[in-house]
Amino acid sequence: MQQDERMEEALGILFEQFWVLRTDEPLVYHRLREQEHQLKRYVSEKFGFDLIVHQHFIKLEKIPVDPKVWMGIKSFVEPMDYAIFCCALAFTEGKSTDEQFLLTHLTEEIEEMYPGELPIDWTNYQHRKSLVRALKQLDALKLIRTVDGEIDAFAMNDTEEVLYEVSVHARYFMRSYPEDLFQYDAIDAILSSEWSRQKEDERRKRVYRKLMLSPVVYREGKDDLDFAYIRNFRNRLVDEFERYTPFRLEVFKNAALLVLPEAKQRYTLFPDKKGISTVALHLATSLRQEAIVPDEMGQIRMTLFEFHALIERTKHEHDAKWSKQYRESTPRVIAKELIQLLQNWELGKIEDESETVVIHSGFGRMIGT
Q: How much is the pLDDT for 345? A: 95
Q: How much is the pLDDT for 174? A: 83
pLDDT at 56 > cutoff 80: yes
Quote the CA–CA distance of 134 and 122 in Å, as a whole number. 14
pLDDT at 158 > cutoff 70: yes
8 Å CB contact between 36 and 48: no
- Using 50, 70 and 90 to split pLDDT, how confident is the model at 129? very high
pLDDT tens column, 216-262:
999 998 899 999 999 999 999 999 999 999 999 999 999 999 999 98
Quote the CA–CA distance of 216 and 164 in Å, as a whole number. 41
Q: How much is the pLDDT for 1? A: 58
pLDDT tens column, 313-365:
999 999 899 999 999 999 999 999 999 999 999 999 998 777 899 999 999 99
Q: How much is the pLDDT for 78? A: 92
How many helices (H) and strands (E) are present in the chain, helices listed first? 15, 12
Whose CA is closest to 52, among 27, 23, 29?
A: 29
Quote the CA–CA distance of 209 and 101 in Å, as a whole number. 40
H or E stretch covering 40: helix 36-47
Average pLDDT, the chain: 92
Average pLDDT over residues 147-169: 89
**Percent of the chain surpassing pLDDT 70:** 99
Query: DSSP labels for 160-202?
Result: ---EEEE-TTGGGSSPP-SS-GGG-SSHHHHHHHHHHT--SSH
Average pLDDT over residues 105-124: 92
Residue ranges of alpha helices (H) inside 71-140 are 79-93, 103-113, 125-140
| CA 192 from centroid of its chain's CA atoms | 20
C-alpha distance across the termini of the chain, in Å: 34
- Local structure of 251: helix, strand or coil: strand
Quote the CA–CA distance of 121 and 158 in Å, as a whole number. 10
pLDDT, greater one: 116 or 162 = 162
CA angle (274 as vertex; 273, 276 as ends), nearest 5: 130
Q: How much is the pLDDT for 68? A: 85
8 Å CB contact between 198 and 205: yes
Residue 73 CB neighbour total at 10 angstroms? 14
Average pLDDT over residues 7-34: 95
pLDDT at 272 > cutoff 70: yes
Beta strands in 222-299 (DSSP E): 248-251, 255-259
Quote the CA–CA distance of 58 and 28 in Å, as a whole number. 10
Average pLDDT over residues 22-33: 96
Quote the CA–CA distance of 74 and 140 in Å, as a whole number. 12
Buried b (16+ CB within 10 A) or exposed e, 287-301: beeeeeeeeebbbbe
pLDDT at 178 > cutoff 80: no
H or E stretch covering 349: strand 348-351
- Using 50, 70 and 90 to split pLDDT, how confident is the model at 159? confident
pLDDT at 2 > cutoff 70: no
pLDDT, greater one: 183 or 300 = 300
CA distances from 141 to 21, 57, 283, 332 (A): 10, 12, 38, 37
pLDDT tens column, 281-317:
999 999 999 888 899 999 999 999 999 999 999 999 9
Q: How much is the pLDDT for 166? A: 94
Q: Which amino acid is at 109?
A: E
Tell me the whole-structure pTM to 2 decimals.
Answer: 0.90
Quote the CA–CA distance of 173 and 18 in Å, as a whole number. 9
